[in-house]
Copies of this chain bind each other. A is one copy, B any other.
Amino acid sequence: MELKNKKWTHDHFYGVREEIIKHWPTGADVNFEEAVKYHETIPARKHFAKRLVKAKKNGETLTQPRAGVALLDEHINLLNFLRTEGEADLLPTTIDSYTRQNQYENCANAIEESMKAGRSLLNGFPAVNHGVHGVRKLVESVDGPLQVRHGTPDARLLTEITLAGGFTSYEGGGISYNIPYAKSVSLEKTIYDWQYNDRLVGIYAEHGIEINREPFGPLTGTLVPPCISHAVAIIEGILAAEQGVKNITLGYGQCGNLFQDVAAIKALEQLAEEYLVKHGYNDCVLTTVFHQWMGGFPQDEAKAFAVISWGAAAAALAKATKVIVKTPHEALGIPTKEANAMGLRATKQLINMLADQPFPITAEVDIEVEMIKAETRCILDKVFELGNGDFASGSVRAFEAGVLDVPFAPSQYSLNKILPARDNNGAVRLFDVGNLPFTQDIIDFHKAKIDARAKEEGRKASFQMVIDDIYAISKGRLVGRPSK
């Protein structure tokens, strides 16, 4: 196969499908025609894509947690609790890590062990093992729009089962669910496999069923400069649109400097719109998601609330369509449902308090918007060029060349040459731009910012500075300054 950003033919899709469905016995229960009918019965208030469109129109910022446990009834209780006690607008189903590695056998064991132990031994909901019937029970028992959230390089069976089960939103992408989540799976394979997922959503769309798709914005969650995650998000948006996806949410993980964060959401919206239209995708509805700080959290719950609240504030001021919420247990372990609901309620309070305070595009925000756009354009245009006008093969080559590069990624397929660090105001910049295809102006801008910080701290920029920044928020600061 030659990887191309080209809509799969039905023949190609159904050929692959036949095999996928057999990966685990529950695959046999997937029946597309019947699933379409099932989707038609899902009311608007439980419909993810529709809820997002409404929020965008009203200028709302919706809240959404992460959550998933091994057993079905427990998972239902968990989600209903987050809906009622957490006042969550949108609901997730976080898939466990074995499923993400297609280790369904391990899941089966862990489900059994969890039943015996009376507590979840999995870090998420093993949807493939629960099958279409299990998923439908979930969809019918929960009063809110539902999204699959995972981190699965090869998610094809999971997609089939969860969509047939009635999920109306699906996270992931061939880059964003590979580079931060895998070590030795080639990009060629994951982009190809994710074309399958997108194509399936596209086929649902052809049958009048709108399903929301969301590339995973924050990548490694740790000091990822906006231009990197924006480039990946926009590429995945384009790849999805090509396969027929019509409702797309692009994401960004909070960096922590208010002006950079507000600017990042604005830049993402504007650039994504521009690139989709430029490349011929005129009928997609775009929304945005802001992730509260995705890196290391403080262990102390009071301090965690502060980080959560600041993320909520930035999301609301940036007017993102939704915000993914952290919990006061973040640094320590999967949250209890109570802790999860508390993160949601704190977020809701701030979003509502800031709903009436639009943040103007001040000069400071404007500079950041222009900077992020310029950087992202450099990357996107080079990717396109490397692929000879194709974003799919271009992405593979771009990662090889370090034109796309994700800091701290576990994947062998990311060059890992760039090094991010904060500037004096806490904005995330690049201390080493690696092979990013930036103009000299942009390179100088980053260098000047990092030099100014180094000077302020009376030390040279180094990997130690990067480490200090990685720990900073968990130690109660934004910029990892050396202690005096």
Residues in A lying within 8 Å of B, measured CB to CB: 256-259, 298, 300-303, 305-310, 312-313, 341-350, 352-358, 360, 362-364, 424-426, 473, 476-479
Contact = CB atoms under 8 A, between A and B. Distances in A.
A406 to B, nearest CB: 24
A247 to B, nearest CB: 26
A310 B352 CA distance: 12
Contacts of A356: 424-426, 478-479
Interface pairs A-B: 10 shortest CB-CB = A309-B309, A302-B342, A306-B349, A305-B305, A303-B349, A302-B345, A306-B346, A362-B362, A353-B478, A302-B346
A426 B301 CA distance: 29
A306 B347 contact: yes
Nearest to A423: B356
Contact of A353 (B300, B307, B353, B362): B307
Contacts of A344: 302
A476 B309 contact: no
7 contacts: A258-B357, A302-B349, A303-B348, A306-B350, A309-B350, A310-B313, A362-B362
A465 to B, nearest CB: 14
Given A302-B341, A306-B346, A309-B346, 7 more contacts: A302-B345, A303-B346, A306-B353, A310-B313, A349-B476, A355-B478, A356-B424
Contact of A350 (B310, B347, B425, B426): B310
A298 B348 CA distance: 12
Contact of A298 (B258, B303, B347, B349): B349
Contacts of A346: 302-303, 305-306, 309
A309 B348 CA distance: 13
Nearest to A354: B478
A474 to B, nearest CB: 10
A345 B298 CA distance: 11
B306 A312 contact: yes
Given A362-B363, A476-B352, A478-B353, A305 B309 contact: yes
Nearest to A341: B302
Nearest to A305: B305
Nearest to A350: B306
B256 A343 contact: no
Contact of A309 (B310, B341, B362, B479): B310
A313 B306 CA distance: 9
Contact of A360 (B302, B303, B347, B362): B362
Contact of A477 (B301, B352, B363, B473): B352
Contact of A300 (B258, B345, B476): B345
Given A313-B310, A353-B256, A478-B353, A302 B343 contact: yes
Nearest to A362: B362
B473 A301 contact: no
Contacts of A426: 353, 356-357
B302 A358 contact: no
Contacts of A476: 348-349, 352-353
Contacts of A477: 352-353, 355
A427 to B, nearest CB: 9
Residue in A308, A354, A426 whose Cβ sees the most chain B Cβ within 10 Å:
A354
A346 B346 CA distance: 12
Contacts of A473: 353
A469 to B, nearest CB: 12
A56 B309 CA distance: 26
A119 B362 CA distance: 53
Contacts of A306: 305, 309, 312, 345-347, 349-350, 353
A476 B63 CA distance: 14
A312 to B, nearest CB: 7
A469 B325 CA distance: 27
Contacts of A312: 306
Contact of A307 (B349, B364, B478, B479): B349
Contacts of A360: 362-364
Contacts of A354: 310, 478
Contacts of A364: 360, 362
A326 to B, nearest CB: 12
Nearest to A303: B349
A357 B302 contact: no
A479 B357 CA distance: 10
